[in-house]
Amino acid sequence: MELILWRHADAEPGMNDGKRELTDKGRRQAARVAKWLKHRIDRDWLVLVSPATRAQQTAEALGVKFDTKDTLGTGTNPTAVLREAHWPDGRKNVLIVGHQPTLGQVASKLLSGAQGDMAIKKGAAWWFSNREGDGAGEVILRAVIAPDQVGED
């Protein structure tokens, strides 16, 4: 199974957290990472997105159908994210667009098996694979892509 954690891109400040929109910089960040992702995922991927406006706008840059999940909102936790993705035994590959600190906590759990925080840069995507090896599952970090690593045309 493949799992991509994509943090929403740069968003405007605001009091209503769920309604904050991407900045112009955020739109460029989302477009860059979306372009990189489009060439690496196919239509069989399940794309799950937080209901927050900035996450929705980040996902829209990918140009594919996605499902909005309230369970992936700003107040979620790593266990809920992994459950929503059906990690590690899901039948579909999953891309989740969400928020810090939760996505960083998910990455920490996948990489070390422990609770902790990792910083995921705004607009960045972390790609994990699960594969069976010697009767036990292995988590592999396949890629970390930040918007500033993907050039513009």
Report pLDDT for 15. 84
Tell me the pTM: 0.94
Residue 129 lies in a domain: no
Range of the domain at 67: 2-91+100-121+134-149
Question: Residue 41 is part of a domain; what is its CATH number?
Answer: 3.40.50.1240
Report pLDDT for 53. 98
Q: Using the CB atoms, write b or e for 1-36: b if 16+ within 10 Å.
A: bbbbbbbbbbbeeeeeeeebebbeebbbbbbbbbbb
The two tokens of residue 111 are 């990489």
Cα separation of 94 and 15, whole Å?
Answer: 31
Sign of the C-alpha dihedral computed for residues 132, 79, 42 and 38 taken in this order: negative
Report pLDDT for 136. 67
> How many domains is the chain partitioned into structurally?
1
Residue 44 lies in a domain: yes
pLDDT, tens digit only, all 153 positions of the chain: 999 999 999 999 988 899 999 999 999 999 999 999 999 998 889 999 999 999 999 999 999 999 999 999 999 999 999 999 999 999 999 999 999 999 999 999 999 887 888 999 999 999 999 987 666 678 999 999 999 998 764
